[in-house]
Structure 1
Amino acid sequence: MVPIKRFMPYSFKNRLTILLIVAIMVPLGLIGAVSYASIYSVLENKAERGVRSNLHQVMLSLESTLDQLNHASQQLALDGRIGKNLDRYLEADVYEKKQLHDEIKNELSLVTFTNPSMGLAFYYFADSGQVMFENYSIKKNADILKLPVLSKFGSISYNGPHLSLNPWDGHQVFSIVRTIDLSNDDSVYVYIETSFKLAESLMNMEQSAADTAHLIVDAEGRILFSEDEASFPSGSLYASGDGDRDRYAGHYFFEETNDKQSWKLVAAIPKASYDSELRSWLLQFVVLTILSLAAGCLVAWILWRSVYEPLKKLSQDMRLVPYAKPESGGQAASIMEFDRIHNSFESMRLRIEELLQEAEQREQRKARLEVEKLLHQINPHFLYNALDTVRWLARMRGQKEIDKLVSTLNKILHYNLNKGETAKIRDELEALQNYMAVQAVRFHFQYEIDIEAEERMLDWVIPRFILQPLVENAILHGLKEDGRIGIRITEEGSDALIEVRDDGIGMTEEQLRKLRDTDSEQTSSAGFGIGLNYVRKVVGLRFGENAKLTIESMPDTGTVITLRLPILQEVDGGA
C-alpha cells in the first residue's frame, strides 16, 4: 500500500510551531505587502515625476533648437534669399561673383546673429568636397554625410549629437543637413550646427539620482549619445537582444519621445540608487519580521511545554491498557480539556474490557454450537444408515416397492440435508422427481409433471431446495387426483423465470390474501404457505429486491406461481 503523502509534519510540536508562524506571518505579510505597495508607489511617483519633468524640459529645449536650425536652413536654401543668391553666384561672372559673395556673407552673418543657438554653418559640395561661405573654421576632410542621423525627413537630415566640425569647439552639438536643388548641381548641401552644449546641460540638470545616465536614441533604436559608455555604448541597439536585457537589468528607464521625429531621450537610473529609500524601509521590515518569528517560536515552545506533560501521561495510560486491571485508573492532568479526554479514555478502556469478556463468552458459546453441530451431523448419518439397513432388508425379502421407496427417500434426505446453498436446476428437478415419487406412494395416486426447459437452462445455478416447496404447495392446496403440474423455465435478460402451474381447484381471494401475507400468524400456525415463506426468505436474503415471487389463482381454474431471480455463476460447495 502506497503511503499517503503528509502535507503537515507528523510531530505535534512541529505542527504547532508551523501554525503559529503562519498565524504571525500572514497578517504581517499582508501589512507588509500593503505598506510596500504604498511606499513603493509614493517613492516611485516622487522619483518618476522629477526625472520625467527634467526630460520634458530638455526635450522642449532640443525641439526648439532643432526648429530654429530648420528655420535657418530654409533661409540658406533656395526657398530663402541666401539660397537664391548662391544659385546666381555659381553662374555669375567674376565681377558679379564678387558682389554676390559679399552679399551672401553679410546675410549669413545676419542669420547667425539673429539665431543665438546657431553655430557653424556652410555650403558643402559633395562631388568635389568643397566648402563655401563657412562662418567658422572647419575640420579637414569633414564629411557631413557620415554624421550620426537622428531623424530624416525628405531632403532634411537631423544629426547628432556629435562633436562640432569646428576644430576649436570640442562640445557635442546637433546639426541639420539640407539638400539644395541648384540648376547645375544636385549634390550641394547646407550644413548648420548648433552651439547648444548638450552634455553639459544634461549633467547640470536637477536629477532624482546623482548617477543618472542620459541617452539619445534614434528612430531605429540605436544609441546616438550616452553619458555612460561602459553600460550603454554609443552605436549599440537600445534594449534589444538577450545581452542587452542582461546589461539593462540593473536600471530603470524613463523615456521622452519626440512626436515629430520619432527619436527619444532616455534617462537610465541604477536600481540600487533609485530604490535606496525603499531598501531602507525593507531592512526595517525584515528586522521586524525576524523579531516576530522569534516571538512565534517562543510562544510555540511555551505552548508545547504546556501540553507535553498531559500528552505524555495520556500516552503512558494507553501503553498500559493491555496490562492494566479493569479497576486501575489512569493519571489525571491539570488541564480541563485533557481531563475530559482522560475520562473518555477511561470509559473506552472499561468498555473494551466488557467487550473482551463478551467476546470470550461468545467463543464459549461458539464451541458449544460446534458440538451441537457435530451431533446434528451424526443424526442424519445414523438415519441414512438405518434407511440403508431397511432397504437391504426389504431387498433380501423381495419387497421391491419398499426397496424403491426407501432408496428414493434416502436420496431426498441426502439432497435436502446437503450443506451447499445452491444447486443446478437439473439437480433440483431430479430431487423433485424423487419427492413426487414418494408423494405418489403416500397419497396412492399419480401426478403428471411436465417440464419445459432448454437443455442449457438445466445447468443454471439457483438457490437449493426452492422448487420442491412450490410444487408441494400445488399438491397440498387444491391439486385434484391424477392432476397435472407444469414447470416452465425461461430466460429474461440475466434472470431466470420459473413458473409452476397446476390444474387444481384454485384458491379464493381470502386464501390468496393469507398466502401472500408473510406476517400472518394464522398462516404460520396452520401450516398454510410455510414452504412459500421459506422460498421468499431464501431468495430475499440472497437477492434482495432483484428477486420476485408472484401467485395468481382463481377458483376451479388452478394456480400459477412465478419466481424471477438472477442466475448464479457457480454452485456452492457441499458435503
Structure 2
Amino acid sequence: MSLKTRITWFFILSTLVPFVCTAWLSYTAMSSILVNKLQSSQYNQLAQVQMSLENAYDNLNIIVQQLAIPGNIGYKLRDYLYTDNESDKRILAKELETDVSLLSFTSPTISLTTYYFNSLKTALFANTSTKSDFNLLALPLPLSTRYQISNFAPHLSNERYNNGYVISALQKLDLPGQEEVYAYVESSYHFTAINEENVVTANPYYLLLNSSNTITYSELPEMYPVGNYFQNDQAEQTNGLDEHHYWFKTSSTAQGWQVVSLIPKSQYNAERDHWVLQMLGLLILFIVITLILAGVLWKTIFNPLHLFHREMKWLSNGQLHPIIKKSNIIEFDELLQQFRNMKNQIAVLFQEVEIKEKKRADLEIEKLLYQINPHFLMNTLDTVHWLAVMNGQKEIDQLVSSLNKLLYYNLGKLGELSTIEEELESLKQYLLLQEIRYQFKFDLQIEAEAPVLQTIVPRFILQPIVENALYHGLDDQGFIRVTVAEQDQDVVISVMDNGTGISEQDIAILLHEDQLEHKKAGIGIGIPYVIRMLDSYFEGKAKVEIESELGIGTTIYLTLPAGGMTVD
C-alpha cells in the first residue's frame, strides 16, 4: 500500500476501534437501562389500569347488589312482581324508577341501570332508554364471576344514544315463580393513557383475560381474537415477546382476571433506535473528521516528499547544485539540508574527478611526446643536416631537414595548439620522409576550404591517421585524399585511402576498446590516441567515424564541433 493509504487506514482504525468498543459498551448499558425503564414504566401503567378496573368493577358490583335481593331496591322489585293490587303496583313501579334513577345519579360513572326480563326480552325501570336490540345473550364472555355477579370486559353499550365501550355487571335474581330476571349495570370506562413522562410515547394496546387465560377483550382482534388463549404455554410469565409485540401482564388477585399491554416493537425500540441513529451520525462525523485529518497529515508529509523527489530528479539529471526550498517542518528540512550537502559533496567529487582525468590525459599525452628527449634529438639531426650539406649529400640533407621540421612540429611544447593549415603542412613533411624511406611516391591529394584553414585544433591528429593507412596495405598505386570542409557549421576532416581496408571487428576495437585491447589486437595506438586527444580537448563533442571495405579502402571522418575547442 502507498503511504497515503497506510495513513488513511491508520487514522480510520485508530478512530473506529475505540469508538466501536465505546459504542458497544454504551449500547449494552443503554439497552439495559432502557429495558428496565420501559418495563418499570409498563408495570406501573398496568398497575394503574388494574386498580382503575378493580375500582370500576367494585362500583358496579355494589350497584348490582343494591338492585338484587337482599338490597332495598331488590325487595321493592319482589313486592312489585308479587302484588296483585294495581294501585300498589303503580306505587311500587314509581318508587322503583325513582330509586334506580337516584342510584345512578349518586354514582356518576354509571351510565345504564336496569332490570332485564329475559322471557319478555325487555328492560324495565331503566334510568335511560335502551337500544331496541338489547339482549343479554349478546354480551361477551364474562371476565370474572363472583358471588353470582358476572363482570364483563369492555363492549358496546346497550344505552340507546351511547355508541361507546362500557364495562358491565350482571346478576340473576332469585325470585320464585319468576324466570330469568337480571339486574344489569353499565359503567363508561376508558383505559388510562400512558403518562407523557413515560418512555413510550404512544398508547399501548390492551387485552383482558379471564381466569382461564382466555381473551375476553382485545384492541387488536385481527392478531388476538376474542375467545382465543393468550400465550397459553407461558401463562406464568409476566412479560415476553411475540412476532410483532412486546407484552406485559398483571393479574387482579381479588377478581381473578388479567390485563395485558401490547407495545409494537417499533415503538418499544424507538428510543434505542433513536440512540443508535445518533451513534451512527457520530460515527459518520468521526470518519469524515478522520479522513480530513488524514488528508491534512498526508499533505503535510507529501510536500517534503515532493521536495525530496524533485531534488533526486534534479540529481539524476545532473543538476548537482541545490535549489533552496523549505518544507517548514524542522525534521524534513534537516533531512533536505543533509541531502543538499550530499549533492554539494558529489558535485565537488565530480569536479575533482574531471580535473584528475584531464590531468591524467595530459600526462599520457606528455608521456607520448617525451618518450625521447626532443631537444637532444633535434640538435643531433641539425648537426647531421650540416654534415650532409658540407659533404654534398643532397638526399640526406633533404631527409634530415624534413625529419627535423616534422619532429619540431610534433614534439612541440605540451598543450600547444595548432591550425589545420599547420597540420596539413606537417603531413606533407611526413609523407616526404615516407617516400624516401619506401622508395616510391604517394599520390597525396589535399582539398581544403580557405575559411577553415585557420581553425584551431590539437597538434598531431592527422599524421597518425595517414600512418595507419600506410601500415595497412598502401602500395605504389596507392593514394591518400585529405578533405577539409565546413558542414552545418562543424568542420569535417576526411582522410581516404585505397588500401586493404579494416574489418568491422577491428573498427569496433579502434573506436570503443581501451589501449590494452588495441595492443592485443595488434592495431597500435595511433587512431586511439587521436580519439582520446579530441575527446580531451573538445570534451566529448568531437566525433570520429570509420568507413571501410576490405580490398577497396578506408575513409576516416573527424567532425569537430562548431565554435572550436574549449581551452583552459
The TM-score, its normalising length taken from structure 2, stands at 0.42
**Which has the larger Rg?**
2
The TM-score, its normalising length taken from structure 1, stands at 0.42
